[in-house]
A and B are shown apart, each in its own frame.
Chain A
């Protein structure tokens, strides 16, 4: 507790030296024009009647309002870009695999399974969803540039999709976009190295021809 028992005898208190010293201080008075200045101050205050708008939009509140507005705008921007726009990738001009699957009705090439591969099992029909560069529907699969059978080639790459049946894991892995992508790569490689491959082939053929001629001339 802060206080203790104090003797408040007035006589003793009056004899307290510090009390005497403090009482000896001169009285400080208000200035002569105190009341005039007070009246002016009161009159000024009467003209400045505060309304609700004065209270709400007083200069003291402006920093608080502006900071609040900035905070709201920043929060909105952060929420918009982090939550609302999630998953939207910018369009870079390249075809998207999913878009290709969804938007286009790809040309299908029906490839029937040869009875030689599966015996005793009814024929199962597979389709390859191929882009337009592939042989059109109804065309023979043998027109494909690949030397190996189309079915084997496609099944190796897991690119066959079974029509009408349940999708197995392997058929689910058929990604036609990979085919399209593969075709792109193939054509790109062909464009880049096509001439050199042809040249290499012709060089190879010429050397083989020369070798054969030399063998004929000088048989061992």
Chain B
């Protein structure tokens, strides 16, 4: 399924999806290779759990596989794929909220809400030193503690580096709301990570 040497890898996202809609399964492989890492990064920073993140990203590609004809060329393909992944992530978070179990770790540490962070597999973070690892864990924990509506837009803007227009299309919000939520999310994170920010 690798798309590295494939001539299709030279095509744009829109051309790839058009080829896939015409029946080219290789085009789908290239799409998967191109978006699996960015989507994993986005969804992990949004939901904070690696297993959930993996499942959500897999489901995103399954949806694209089955509903390829629902994509219309008037929007960017990246907007479409991020929209699917974001909606699945939000649904999963809502489900988790409804079925939230008592967390033993919060009992032992005295933290409220029992919000755990799932540290991703170290095999792709092997170059981090211990201090960096702790710092990154704290940042992820701070992200997990703010509301999902602020978290989503902050991750899309500051981590995935999407434009404001793209974020507005992905989230379905208007531009002003996107900017407002990003500002508010950053303010909350700044309060939580004051010592890290001052370094």
Interface residues of A (CB under 8 A from B): 1-4, 6, 8, 16-19, 21-23, 25-31, 34-39, 41-42, 45
Contacts and interface: CB of A to CB of B under 8 A. Distances in A.
Given A17-B197, A25-B140, A39-B1, A3 B158 contact: no
Given A21-B197, A28-B53, A39-B1, 20 more contacts: A2-B176, A3-B174, A4-B180, A17-B197, A18-B186, A18-B189, A21-B189, A22-B189, A28-B40, A28-B44, A28-B120, A30-B40, A34-B36, A36-B1, A38-B1, A38-B61, A38-B62, A41-B62, A45-B62, A45-B66
A38 to B, nearest CB: 6
Contacts of A27: 37, 41
Given A3-B176, A25-B136, A38 B196 contact: no
Closest 5 CB pairs of A and B: A3-B180, A3-B176, A22-B158, A30-B36, A35-B1
B183 A29 contact: no
A42 B37 contact: no
B29 to A, nearest CB: 8
A2 B159 contact: no
B37 A29 contact: yes
Contact of A21 (B29, B121, B139): B139
Contact of A6 (B1, B37, B61, B180): B180
Contacts of B61: 38
B177 to A, nearest CB: 5
Interface of B: 1-2, 29, 32-33, 36-37, 39-41, 44-45, 50, 53-54, 57-58, 61-62, 65-66, 120-121, 124-125, 128, 136, 139-140, 154-155, 157-159, 164, 174, 176-177, 179-181, 183, 186, 189-190, 193, 196-197
Contact of A29 (B32, B40, B65): B40
A30 B159 CA distance: 16
Given A25-B139, A28-B124, A19 B177 contact: no
A19 B179 contact: no
Contacts of B186: 16, 18-19
A3 B1 CA distance: 45
Contact of A2 (B37, B44, B154, B180): B180
A22 B54 contact: no
A42 B189 contact: no
A27 B58 CA distance: 18
A8 B164 contact: yes
A6 B158 contact: no
Contacts of B159: 22-23, 25
Contacts of B125: 26, 28
6 contacts: A3-B180, A21-B139, A22-B158, A28-B124, A30-B40, A35-B33
Contacts of B176: 1-3, 6
Contacts of A45: 62, 66
- Which of B45, B120, B186 has the largest count of A CB atoms less than 10 A from its CB? B186
A3 to B, nearest CB: 3
A21 B179 CA distance: 19
B193 A21 contact: yes
A43 B53 CA distance: 21
Contacts of A30: 36-37, 39-40, 54, 57
Contacts of A38: 1, 32, 58, 61-62
Nearest to B164: A8
